[in-house]
Amino acid sequence: MTSTIWYDDPVELWRLIALASFLYLTHSLAALTALLPYDAHIPAEVTVRWLSRALAVVLGSAVLTVLLLSAANRGGDRDLLAAALAGLAVALGATALLAWLLRRR
């Protein structure tokens, strides 16, 4: 971010994916540590399973991001707008699904 802001470097996809991946992994490991008591001793398999699940999410989202961005860049600005609106629709749909599942309980 510093090189983009101060030195006017262009935003590169690999930097953006790396930053998002590290932020997600930090968030995921913070969630794991929030679940555990202060003096807990957990087997290594728990940490390995948690990290492998988080890395699978990171890999899947990185691949999907690259595919969607390459598809959106083919048609110019109109396709980027359509991709942004489709992403908004997916986010709203996921929110509605989670709200419905919560009310169903």
Tens-digit pLDDT profile for residues 70-91:
776 676 667 777 777 888 998 9
Nearest to 20 by CA among 50, 52, 65: 65
Query: Could you tell me where the DSSP H helices lie in 1-105?
Result: 2-6, 13-35, 44-72, 77-104
Amino acid at 69: L
pLDDT digits over 19-63, tens only? 899 999 999 999 988 988 889 898 999 889 999 999 999 999 888
The pLDDT of 4-30, averaged and rounded, is: 85
Question: pTM score, two decimals?
Answer: 0.65
- At residue 7, the pLDDT reads 74
Task: Give the closest residue to 83 by CA, choosing from 18, 12, 75.
Answer: 75
